[in-house]
Amino acid sequence: LNLDKNGNCPKLMNILVSHLLWADDLILLSLDSVTCQAQINKLVDYCNKWGIEINELKTKCVIFGQDNNNNNNGDNLRLLVGSETLEIVDSYCYLGIVLHKSGKLCHAKISLKTKAMRAFFGFK
């Protein structure tokens, strides 16, 4: 499944990074909504071909770089998995790390600290 061919994806050390994948957890990365929807469509086609279901209730969209004044809040953005519109959220937890629309890791740091303190003191 080639998700970055001819797409507008971020680069890390001059290498296109179209997605992060661990087991059955997947994050699609793109720099614009057209590329993002194309990636989603490729994923849907792949899943349909192999009989894999996408849980639309767990599938979310985070638009990074949103400012506090909501000038880049994705109000006009509509991404679809099949006929279902994806929910746009402020943050998403991927492999235990909170990814926030601000791009800052302070939210992840707070979440990890809270989890560590609960484990240390045996709270649930």
Spatial CA neighbour of 39 closest among 50, 54, 51: 54
pTM attached to this predicted model: 0.77
| Percent with pLDDT over 90 in the chain | 44
Torsion-angle region of residue 50: left (phi > 0), alpha (psi -120 to 50) or beta? alpha
Q: What is the pLDDT of residues 2-57, one digit of tens each?
A: 665 656 888 889 888 999 999 989 999 999 999 999 999 999 999 999 999 999 88
Which of 98, 22, 3, 23 lies closest to 60 in space, CA to CA? Answer: 98
Please tell me the predicted confidence (pLDDT) of residue 6.
Answer: 59
pLDDT of residue 21: 93
**Cα–Cα distance for residue pair 81/107, rounded to 1 Å:** 28
- Backbone phi, then psi, for 116, in 5-degree steps? -65, -40
What would the mean pLDDT of 95-117 be, rounded to a whole number? 89
The four Cα atoms 108, 110, 112, 114 give a dihedral, to 10 degrees, of -150
- The answer to whether residue 71 scores a pLDDT higher than 60 is no
Calpha distance 17→63 (Å, rounded)? 16
Report d(CA 65, CA 71) in Å as an integer: 10
Residue 75 pLDDT exceeds 70: no
For the chain, give the number of residues: 124
Q: What's the confidence (pLDDT) of residue 73?
A: 54
